[in-house]
């Protein structure tokens, strides 16, 4: 049985207790809903992989309430601290050297020497993490390969019966996963474009990134086909074919439109919900494919195009 919880003080305390006893709770962050477990409890982390049917070589991000707690698990260089102070809480994950003997389960890091850390900004997430006190490992709360959830209902549709609870904090206002930066001694690498646009990153050190994220030094286990709707998806489509359900952007109207005013922030927030909606509507209308209008490759458009590219990749 998966409990659907409202965000009351009592329920927040209950979620922290579920984590302490090794259970799984899905919770909102400003990016997407995460499926959380105690990052120091190997059995609990294994249960995340099982609930999502996630390949276990793909490491997880740990979520904490504040920088002091983050420093219990990861070693912060000056650059890392600068990035953390500039952007936390917020849609940024930092890949840092793991602190020896910190107690994190090896399943979280898939045996790597580094750990991905983030402090989410969503107030409910921060209350939950503060109440728990430690590190919560949390991938997006969807079956592996499926579209990431931006509402509690999306989580319920994918994972009901497989997890202990879902706490409902309303829709996620960023709507795309966090930007992931790997902080090295003299370079910072973009591993995943995400909710913090590259142009907004405040850092004295050069952030290396490819023209498109497709050439990026990959996060391990970043699967080609991901975020995939049931219908086949085609990108950069100005005029859709008869068999295609068209998602528009700006002046390219489409059946539904990510942002009529061509606002990338609005499009990012709506993207995953609209992919789900398009899937349902396409099936109803007897259309076998989804087409998406061109999205400018700047700001949040870089992360949007990354997700669309994976959603349109050949299925493995
Ligand atoms: O916004 C987000 O980041 C959401 C919310 C729930 O926080 N989480 C999320 O987690 O997107 P997930 O598991 O779907 O993606 C985590 C990504 C994976 O691509 C993984 O390979 C990468 O982070 N990652 C984790 N640890 C890493 C490490 N030590 N080195 C490199 N990449 C790492
Ligand atoms: Mg995911």
- The DSSP line for 220-272 is TT--SS-S--SSEEE-S-SS--TTEEEEEBTTB--SEES-TT--HHHHHHHHH
**Mutate which of 56, 116, 136, 184 to test ligand 1's pocket (most atoms within 8 Å of Cβ)?**
116
The larger pLDDT score, comparing residue 277 to residue 221, is at 277
- Does the structure's ipTM exceed the value 0.95? yes
**Whole-number pLDDT of residue 270:** 97
Same domain as 164, residue 24:
yes
CA 314 and chain centroid, separation: 21
Question: Residues, the chain, total?
Answer: 316
Reported as a single tens digit per residue, the pLDDT across 7-38 is 999 999 999 999 999 999 999 999 999 999 99
Choice among 157-171, 261-275, 302-316 with the minimum mean pLDDT: 302-316
Reply yes or no on whether the pLDDT at 195 is more than 70. Answer: yes
Across the chain, what does the average pLDDT equal?
92
What angle, 0 to 180 degrees and rounded to 10, lies between the N-to-C axes of helices 152-159 and 264-285?
Answer: 40
Are 102 and 146 part of one and the same domain? yes
Please indicate, yes or no, whether residues 253 and 293 belong to a single structural domain of this protein: yes
pLDDT digits (tens, 9 = 90+) for 57-102: 789 999 999 999 999 999 999 999 999 999 999 999 999 999 999 9
Same-domain pairing of 60 and 151 = yes
Domain finish residue from 180, 215, 250: 215
Rg (CA), the chain: 19
Least confident of 39-48, 180-189, 229-238, 285-294: 180-189
Domain membership of residue 298 (yes or no) is yes
Which domain CATH number covers 206? 3.90.870.10
177 lies in some domain:
yes
Over the stretch 209-252, which tens digit does the pLDDT of each residue have?
754 444 344 555 455 677 788 889 999 999 999 999 999 999 99
- Among the atoms of ligand 1, which is closest to the Cα of residue 194? 1
| 211 and 294 inside one domain | no
* pLDDT score for 213: 43
Residue 184, pLDDT score = 87
DSSP annotation of 210 reads -
User: Are 13 and 106 members of one domain?
Assistant: yes
265 has a pLDDT exceeding 70: yes
Preceding omega of 89 cis (within 30 degrees of 0)? yes
Average pLDDT over residues 135-156: 96
- Ligand 1 atom 31: the closest Cα is on which residue? 219
Token digits for 314? 């050949």
Write out the residue range of the structural domain in which residue 255 sits: 232-311
pLDDT band at 200 (very low <50, low <70, confident <90, very high): very high
Q: Is residue 221 part of a domain?
A: no
In a domain, 224, yes or no: no
Does residue 248 form part of some domain?
yes
Ligand 1 geometric centre to CA of 206 (Å): 22
Choice between 217 and 112, residue whose per-residue pLDDT is larger: 112
Is 227 part of any domain? Answer: no
Q: What pLDDT does 316 receive?
A: 62
Dist. CA 250–CA 262, nearest whole Å: 4
- What does the pLDDT read at residue 214? 42
Query: Mean pLDDT lowest for which of 55-64, 100-109, 130-139, 300-309?
Result: 55-64
Q: Who lines ligand 1 at CB under 6 A?
A: 29, 31-32, 34, 58-61, 93, 95, 109, 112, 114-116, 118, 138-140, 177-178, 180, 191-192, 219-222
CA distance 60 to 111: 11
The closest ligand to the CA of 223 turns out to be 1
Report which of residues 132 and 208 the model is more confident about: 132
Together in a domain, 209 and 237: no
Q: Given phi > 0 = left and psi -120 to 50 = alpha, else beta, which region is 161?
A: left
């Amino acid at each position: 049985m998966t409990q659907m919880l409202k965000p009351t003080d009592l329920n927040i305390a209950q979620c922290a207790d579920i984590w302490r006893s090794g259970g799984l709770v899905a919770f909102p962050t400003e990016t997407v809903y995460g499926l959380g477990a105690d990052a120091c409890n190997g059995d609990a982390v294994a249960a995340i992989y099982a609930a999502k049917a996630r390949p276990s070589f793909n490491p997880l991000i740990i979520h904490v309430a504040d920088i002091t707690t983050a420093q219990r698990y990861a070693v912060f260089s000056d650059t890392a601290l600068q990035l953390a102070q500039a952007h936390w809480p917020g849609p940024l994950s930092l890949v840092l050297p793991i602190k020896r003997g910190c107690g994190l389960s090896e399943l979280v890091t898939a045996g790597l020497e580094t750990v991905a850390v983030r402090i989410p900004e969503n107030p409910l997430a921060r209350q939950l993490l503060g109440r728990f006190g430690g590190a919560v490992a949390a991938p997006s709360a969807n079956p592996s390969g499926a579209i990431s959830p931006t509402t509690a209902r999306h989580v319920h549709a994918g994972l009901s019966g497989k997890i202990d609870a879902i706490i409902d904090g309303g829709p996620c206002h960023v709507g795309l996963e966090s930007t992931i930066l790997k902080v090295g001694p003299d370079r910072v690498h973009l591993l995943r474009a995400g909710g913090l646009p590259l142009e907004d990153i405040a850092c004295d050190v050069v952030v290396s990134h490819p023209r498109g994220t497709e050439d990026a030094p990959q996060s391990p286990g970043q699967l080609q086909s991901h975020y995939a709707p049931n219908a086949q998806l085609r990108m950069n489509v100005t005029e859709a074919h008869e068999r295609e359900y068209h998602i528009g952007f700006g002046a390219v109207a489409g059946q539904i439109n990510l942002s009529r005013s061509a606002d990338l922030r609005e499009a990012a927030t709506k993207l995953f919900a609209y992919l789900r909606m398009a899937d349902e509507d396409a099936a109803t209308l007897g259309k076998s494919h989804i087409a998406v209008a061109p999205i400018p490759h700047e700001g949040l458009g870089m992360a949007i195009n990354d997700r669309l590219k994976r959603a349109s990749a050949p299925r493995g």
